[in-house]
Amino acid sequence: MRQRGLLTMIDNDMENKLVSIIITTRNEEKSIANCLESIMDQSYEYIELIVVDNNSTDNTKQIALNYTENVYNMGPERSAQRNFGIIDVARGNYIMYIDADMTLEPELVQEAISVIKNETSLVGLFIPLRWIGNNWIIRAKGFEREFYDGTSLDAARFIRRDAFLKIGGFDNRLFAGEDWDLNKRLKTLGEIGITKNKLYHYEDESISLKDYINKIYYYSTNLGVYIDKWGTGDRDIKNQFGIYYRSVGVFTENGKWKKLVCSPILSFNMYLLKILAMMIFVYKNKKQIH
């Protein structure tokens, strides 16, 4: 039984029901409690909480310990953190990885476990992600993210643990595009479904254009490592970094263009940020994906 994030005796039957949720953190004292509370509020009972921190200097670990004894330290980046939590700690047959600034809808885990158990061909599930905030950058990026559900710009977050282990987990070299990389390898084992229930991402309301540029600048070079791994001719790589699909295709397929027309200001701001991100990526990698 679950008691504020702790699970007592685990037998084989419980392992078949158990969902291990791995949360990676670094100085997340402002958001970690809301994240963990949303997990505690899940309608599904058999949940194991695992927090893998990366040398926080604030009260992140102390807050997390109020919810689970499974609080660990690992770095240097989130791929290594997630691999540790899933491979070395998790006991469930199903795993889900999220960030500390996310919250779950109450029925999310229940729906995910029901879907993946009923469809044996599924190795993982996409979970629709929505951004919450009033800052113009948050609103624009959140609007963009609504178009990505279940596309090559999305990645599975709820996964059969045996499938995760079979493909070797996250590539520790990657801290950008690591979820896309994992998703590509998962697809070699089976299909990826999608839930109706959602995750919510809470970006810092104080984020400025300078902050956004610095974040894109930081991740851009490592995205080049991901591209080199699969090659520029790979279909997913073309979609993820090619100008047409990333700027037009994903926003117009299946009638989604109507959302652009109905939200002209959001669309303008979204494309402004996309052009800026593309310029930074090309500058950092000295090449452009066509």
Tokens of 206: 């104080």
**What's at 21, amino acid-wise?**
I
Q: Report residue 34 as tokens.
A: 């809301």
**Domains with residue ranges and CATH for the chain:** 2-207 (3.90.550.10)
Per-residue pLDDT of the chain (290 residues; tens, 9 = 90+): 344 444 555 666 676 899 999 999 999 999 999 999 999 999 999 999 999 999 999 999 999 999 999 999 998 889 999 999 999 999 999 999 999 999 999 999 999 999 999 999 999 999 999 999 999 999 999 999 999 999 999 999 999 999 999 999 999 999 999 999 999 999 999 999 999 999 999 999 999 999 999 999 999 889 999 999 999 999 999 999 999 999 999 999 999 999 999 999 999 999 999 999 988 888 777 644 44
pTM above 0.85, yes or no: yes
DSSP 3-state percent helix, strand, coil across the chain (nearest 5): 50, 15, 35
Helix (H) / strand (E) containing 194: strand 191-194
Query: At 200, is the secondary structure helix, strand, or coil?
Result: strand
- Per-residue buried b or exposed e for 210-223, using 16+ beta carbons within 10 Å of the residue's own CB: eebeeebeebbebb
How many Å apart are CA 262 and CA 266, to the nearest integer?
9
